Structure 1
């Protein structure tokens, strides 16, 4: 039976869900509070520069392909991909760096040059990571997080010990070089927790990195948003921007409508791809499943201080993606998770999309994106933002041996207060809720409300977790759950 479904938000999970639900034959309308779609993956342009505002790493291309295949399409029908080589560079000091290339054999050689015997150890480690990837990404993450029994399969029983140990300890058993350890621990940071608090099973992220490689949509990550939007429109989805939801109407314990600008919009089903905690504040208290105390006790992935910078010249000695690990990795992690505060010496990430995409900046110029991970809920002010920009840009100049400060002709910052204002993000989190052992699968907030019929959720605070590929999967899972409920 055809239903009228209102979807709140237009991030990856909401867009994906809209496609699956439209495919099922329902009438779908997406309501986005901002003036453009994409959620955290929005894009903006200024002074001839183009900036992706959020996700910038394209990993797990198989998940994107699987999404489009569900509609008898291919990723290549909607956007072009380029494989980066090197995938990224990790700096440890002045002109002191390690390149991660686009194939495992080259990466093994790099490891061997740093630590004798580590090349073969890396092969063994990646073989294990691939095994976990095949179990997790091809099977487990496509389960709705309803029951712990979803995690119990003949294959996962054999890997039980990997849920009881952690990524950091496993890596340190095999590798001695602190540099190689940091490179191997880096991918799980996308899951939102310290490597020492992330179950070993999640080393499948290392296969996503070294095994599948780092890609870049030809003109930026917003190509993916545009591609899914095009698919959604082809399927009959309606998208409305500048539409901020004021309230979800519940009658007889059933979601029946949403209110936008004082106007009531009747809905058979309401699906929120917005921040989960914020969505529940749109309900009367009696209908909220998770209390403020619940959210306060969760382990959230970091917030971020972002800088979008336009330079009037080409930047040298840098790759498309670059990680600056020239300071204490563990201390910065402690400043995020253990004793939340602004880090004295922050690690940071720099991204120069114009190294790959000539349309991202005017001729002879460069588009730069800088990110410092921060504790969620941290104090945010313009003075602090400027202080930290000065810290990282000074280090950038020293490490890459060039002057660039006087070549900045555009700069915009984005931090905790903006994540709250633009995305209603709890504590200004950037990546959702961390995938720790006690926040995995059925232990995460549910896709379906326990108190309100016909109210559903999708996105990085629910199943399967943070990241763009998991967001696409979340959209599929909730659409399947809705279809199943309608059949019963």
Structure 2
């Protein structure tokens, strides 16, 4: 039976859910509190000619992203041009810089140069990572995770040991490599999962395969091209989008959501999918109807927040790659500042993205577009003076690396974004940027449930539920939830609605 479905939020998971639900013939309405779609993947332009992606910038796992478009008879490249980055990125260490090439044979040569024998061990590592990727991203992550019985298929059961669910990622990497630079290179991808490599299961070496082996890409025009494409697909299926429309309350009958209050007006729906922040969504419900209380959320391990600077320079910056990771300081010390001290770091690591190195359309001629990101503890005070202090540190290191001088004097656009902004724009719990960390105790069934336990027609999708943080997992999350909503028998809710 066809349903009238509300989707709260138009982040990646909301866009995905909208497309899949509308494709089933349901009347799908997406309500977004902000003026544009995309959630953390929004984009903005400046009066002086810069275009900035606000969040995601690493286009990894291209096959998973393309699967979304193929489900609707399309290809990602029907909507945007994908550019392969070579090098994929550069890592800056205290004594040496390492650029990771696109070509896998060149990557093997690089590893062998750094550590004799590491080239062959890279083959072994990637072979195991490919297996985890194929099982994990094609079987493991597509479950709604109501019960562990979902994982009792012969294929998953036979793969349990090879998936390395109970091994720590750091110790796993050290079985293959000894050189600190190679260890950092292999540990870096799991930072996207929001926890220390000491806490992440070794299964997530699949990230190395999804990134390094499948390549790092860039959609010409910016990552927002993916958002626009997904919105187009959803609209082609019949989904309708409503912007500047915050959901203020969720009204309920005896066992189901009855109406949403949107900009002060009540609207009735047969089912609701919340792509909004999970914790915030539940604050719109009476405490007795929430899946989790405040104590539960306080006990979760969240991925970090971050300090971001969007910078425009009225000159080109030499020797700068599209993606550059500044790892001159100790990774564990920075991670401890996030999870142990819960304070601003003394010697931070950071990431620089300069899409104008690849795409002339994101900055005026002769100018540079640079995005600086520094992982940060949730909930810290983020006044402008503190933000500026870290900007000065990052600019100094950028100058040292590239040989550019007096970059501060060359800035003709500057905007910062931090903890309080994530809270304001996305209702993000504690100002987190990436959702829940993918630790073992927060995997699969142990993640927040995709379905409300007391309201039969309220579902949750996105980075705080299954399968986890990141753009490809969020796409999958939207598909999982749309499938579950499609199974609903609307007749059982008629009295409540």
> Aligning the two structures, in what range does the TM-score lie when normalised by the shorter sequence?
over 0.9
In 1: Cα distance, 2:341 partner to 2:482 partner: 39
- Residue number in structure 2 paired with 1:39: 39
- Residue number in structure 2 paired with 1:52: 53
DSSP-derived class of the 1:485 partner: coil
- Residue number in structure 2 paired with 1:358: 360
Gaps of 5+ in 1: none
In 2: Cα distance, 1:255 partner to 1:334 partner: 42
**Alpha-carbon distance, 1:277 to partner:** 0.2
- Residue number in structure 2 paired with 1:173: 175
1:259 aligns with 2:261: yes
In 2: Cα distance, 1:43 partner to 1:261 partner: 24
**CA deviation map 1:203-251 (0-9, x unaligned):** 1001012210100001100000000111111111110110111100101
1:440 aligns with 2:430: no
In 2: Cα distance, 1:266 partner to 1:97 partner: 57
- Residue number in structure 2 paired with 1:71: 72
1:227 aligns with 2:229: yes
1:469 aligns with 2:436: no
- Residue number in structure 1 paired with 2:425: 422
Q: Is the 8 A contact 1:419 1:429 kept in 2?
A: yes
Q: Is the 8 A contact 1:93 1:399 kept in 2?
A: no
- Residue number in structure 2 paired with 1:388: 390
Question: Which residue among 351, 366, 369 is the counterpart of 1:367?
Answer: 369
Mapping of residues 62-101 of structure 1, within 5 Å: 62-93=63-94, 96-101=96-101
- Residue number in structure 2 paired with 1:243: 245
1:15 aligns with 2:15: yes
1:28 aligns with 2:20: no
In 1: Cα distance, 2:335 partner to 2:436 partner: 16
Q: Is the 8 A contact 2:3 2:270 kept in 1?
A: yes
Q: Aligned-pair RMSD on alpha carbons?
A: 1.2
The answer to which of 461-470 and 204-213 deviates more is 204-213
Question: Which residue among 394, 404, 408 is the counterpart of 1:405?
Answer: 408
1:451 aligns with 2:454: yes
In 2: Cα distance, 1:379 partner to 1:354 partner: 32
DSSP-derived class of the 1:6 partner: strand
DSSP-derived class of the 1:180 partner: helix
**Alpha-carbon distance, 1:432 to partner:** 0.3
Q: Is the 8 A contact 2:5 2:271 kept in 1?
A: yes
**Alpha-carbon distance, 1:149 to partner:** 2.3
In 1: Cα distance, 2:63 partner to 2:175 partner: 30
**CA deviation map 1:416-453 (0-9, x unaligned):** 00000000000000000011101011111111100112
DSSP-derived class of the 1:34 partner: coil
The answer to which of 256-265 and 144-153 deviates more is 144-153
DSSP-derived class of the 2:257 partner: strand
Q: Is the 8 A contact 2:435 2:468 kept in 1?
A: yes
In 1: Cα distance, 2:180 partner to 2:443 partner: 28
- Residue number in structure 1 paired with 2:120: 120
Gaps of 5+ in 2: 493-497
**Alpha-carbon distance, 1:77 to partner:** 1.5
Q: Is the 8 A contact 1:18 1:237 kept in 2?
A: yes
Q: Is the 8 A contact 2:31 2:246 kept in 1?
A: yes
Q: Is the 8 A contact 1:419 1:425 kept in 2?
A: yes
**Alpha-carbon distance, 1:155 to partner:** 4.2
**CA deviation map 1:281-310 (0-9, x unaligned):** 011111111000000000000101000000
The list of structure 1 runs, each at least 4 consecutive aligned residues, that deviate by more than 6 angstroms after superposition, is none
In 2: Cα distance, 1:222 partner to 1:399 partner: 29
- Residue number in structure 1 paired with 2:186: 184
> How many corresponding residue pairs?
487
Q: Is the 8 A contact 2:169 2:197 kept in 1?
A: yes
